[in-house]
Amino acid sequence: MGTVRRIQRTTITGVVLLAGIAAVVSFRHMHELCLRHGEDHLAAVLIPLAVDGTIGVASMSILLANRYGSRGGLLAWVMLLVGSLASLGANIAVAEPSLIGRVIAAWPSAALIGSYELLMSQIRQASATKRDVARDWVPADRELYGADGHDLSAEVSSDGSAVVDLRRTAWKWAQANRLPDGTLPPGRVIAERFARSARWGRWIKRTGLEGKLAEHDQSAAV
């Protein structure tokens, strides 16, 4: 898992570097095209940013939709296509009128579009991997808890002592069931395990890391 993550980070770094280089060259081509066609210097700066920004916003919108199980709306895909064609066309328009000249001029835009989509793909893959780990992760001490995740030994008493025990039990469970990379389970996972709210799970994690749920600490009884 650690090796895969290092490869992902290296790939993302390379893609970001490539996208930066391509964006600078593509920007210069579009800037030159705007000046050739009578735009002032401010417009010549803003128009290329608007074109490449359209590609970025559309890709991020599609990425967000993918995280919620959707392919993305029609508008996002149309804007991505229009922005990509505008960028590619602007770069070709400033090229020397020859096949080689047009290929050279088109390359920065094609590289920018391709590298940005590669970056989005890496982010989507990393998100999917995290979801798979959280879904497939099986606690080691399942037998200590009921099917609904409640601590079978804890009943709330009038003085609240059992509530404290449940909180400490949840913290012990989180420590004993770390994720494959060694980190504690997310607060949401802790909460689901004990049929509590996500806020409760985050509190357990934060308070436990602060050392306030140790056996000798009575501060959790509040």
Q: What is the pLDDT of residue 131?
A: 56
| Tokens representing residue 77 in the block | 């895909």
Mean pLDDT score across all residues of the chain: 76
Q: What is the pLDDT of residue 145?
A: 40
Q: How far, in Å, CA of 125 to CA of 15, rounded?
A: 14
pLDDT at 222 over 50: no
* Best CA proximity match to 187, nearest among 172, 168, 173, 200: 200
| Tokens representing residue 222 in the block | 């509040």
Most confident of 32-36, 88-92, 138-142, 216-220: 32-36
Whole-prediction pTM value? Answer: 0.49
Cβ atoms of residues 91 and 106 within 8 Å:
yes
Q: How far, in Å, CA of 79 to CA of 96, rounded?
A: 28
Per-residue pLDDT tens digits for 178-189 = 888 888 999 889
